[in-house]
Structure 1
């Protein structure tokens, strides 16, 4: 079994890149960020503050997040409900950034993520895959881009969907999330020592995909 770990900050294009590579290599793609977002959605629906750690911890055993595949597309299931249509909202992402640092939240998903890597060729993306979830991954990538570039990508994505948004606010939110992710006590976002840094600021999706695929092929040929 082979495993590829792609880490990086919000808006770096991890999911888009990971899906493409997984498809081309016939790997199973696991979006761990989506799993944390599903848990965040659960807390938001109950109007629980991310500061109420004891309440969140007590609720974790009631939350069951799984990943299924339908026509080759990942579906995130929260307690039996497909929540793909809800977890990409900004407020869910911001909540996930805060609650993902809570030990009980991370513990609830860690075993599931590691078990997936034991049964198939896996490509996972997230914030701490190479440093914590899959420390022995065959290839580790740290994918990043400038906050300005990431904000513009998100702005274009939302605008294309007809969602009103402000570019400056999006960039401020991204910078805040970066700080939260990089400074949390448990499994902070950072580049693994043996990870390959890929800055996609001035790269096309195709260029990033080819760069990572070549890195994997080089690893496999050793």
Structure 2
């Protein structure tokens, strides 16, 4: 399941995985974890070569339980810290570095290879798992996406989030390596006017259709 931030990927993916009894992987958390580590190490995020040089150092571990997804870096639980504004504002810079993407895509494919799973991100259908049986691209209006993200965070406004998302969308969709895009064979689902249960139901219907 791919799509821009605020489109509802995380909640919908976890709900679908739970309903189908499958594992779940948040690939965005992996990029955030690497970003958190880079910031802690004082790496210059304006220098792609500096990021590339250290991209293989941190040890990442991603849990796949949809009821309790976990993410650790060097044994440290970073599920909370990676959602900070600092990490959110920097993650696109780190995710654009080819060496980072190569490492994380390899890890993601290893996890996917262990069995049926719902995976969310920005390049899953197009680059990580192009042969996936069901590929969904979630989207929503800029206003709806910003409102959802504002509801999740404290100390921010819809206007600030809309500006931040516009910047991140531009960075994610124009990067050289695996840009954000709708994969061939993916089904686009606009979630602007849908609540979470409706999104989950729609995706489950798509899964059922593809299974026959």
TM-score for the superposition, normalised by structure 2 = 0.96
Distance 1:195 1:69, change over 3 A: closer
- Cα displacement (A) at 1:64: 1.4
- Give the secondary-structure state (helix, strand or coil) at the position aligned to 1:123: strand
Unaligned runs of 5+ in 2: none
Distance, in Å, in 1 between the alignment partners of 2:167 and 2:136 is: 23
Check if 1:135 corresponds to 2:111: no
Q: For residue 106 of structure 1, what is the aligned residue in structure 2? A: 101
**Aligned position for 1:172:** 163
**1:153-194 CA-partner distances (Å, limit 9, x unpaired):** 111222xxxx22122111000111111111000000000121
The residue that corresponds to 1:47 in the other structure is 42
- Deviation at residue 69 of structure 1 after TM alignment: 5.4
8 Å Cα contact 2:3/2:9 also seen in 1: yes
Determine the C-alpha separation between the residues in 1 that align with 2:158 and 2:172: 21
Describe the SS at the equivalent of 1:12: coil
Q: TM-score, normalised by structure 1?
A: 0.92
Q: Gaps (5+ residues) in structure 1?
A: 1-5
Following superposition, the deviation at residue 65 of structure 1 comes to 1.0
Q: What is residue 200 of structure 1 aligned with on the other side?
A: 191
Task: Note the aligned Cα RMSD (angstroms).
Answer: 1.3
8 A Cα contact 2:13 2:24, kept in partner: yes
Task: For 2:125 and 2:89, locate their aligned partners in 1 and report how far apart those are by CA, in whole Å.
Answer: 22
Q: Considering fraction of residues, name the structure with more strand.
A: 1
